[in-house]
């Protein structure tokens, strides 16, 4: 998976919950305006639990490890968003290796 975009929500968090019990990853980075590609990690769920992203945490959407996945996605009432175009602003694409279909 190559990632060119990320964002954070200053006013509320976001929950990703797997509806089909399949594994997934969510790329995240610590809060702050001095964003660097090396700050990112990929949070992994085996599909038995969801991942909640606190306000201010850089992230992108949920990425299933299998060919498909269904998710419940819930955000705060205010959908404020600060975005970063990683390719244009930092000159990079993030690479998150995903294992083969499970």
Report pLDDT digits (tens) over 31-90.
998 999 999 999 999 999 999 999 999 999 899 999 899 999 999 887 899 999 999 999
Per-residue confidence (pLDDT) for residue 100, from 0 to 100 = 58
Domain chopping of the chain, boundaries:
2-95
pTM: 0.89
- The stretch 5-26 carries a mean pLDDT of 95
Per-residue confidence (pLDDT) for residue 99, from 0 to 100 = 65
Contact call for residues 56 and 8 (beta carbons, < 8 A): yes
Burial of residue 13 (number of CB atoms within 10 Å: 0-12, 13-18, 19+) = middle
The predicted-structure confidence for 30-39, as pLDDT tens digits, reads as follows 999 899 999 9
Domain 2-95 fold is Jelly Rolls (2.60.120)
């Amino acid at each position: 998976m190559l990632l060119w975009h990320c964002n954070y929500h200053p006013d509320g968090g976001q929950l990703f919950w797997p509806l089909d019990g399949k594994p997934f990853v969510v790329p995240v980075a610590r809060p702050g305006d001095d964003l660097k590609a090396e700050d990112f990690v990929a949070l992994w769920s085996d599909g038995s639990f969801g991942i909640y992203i606190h306000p201010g945490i850089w992230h992108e959407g949920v990425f299933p490890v299998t060919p498909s996945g269904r998710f419940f996605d819930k955000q705060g009432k205010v959908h404020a968003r600060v975005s970063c175009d990683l390719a244009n602003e930092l000159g990079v694409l993030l690479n998150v290796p995903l294992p083969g279909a499970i």
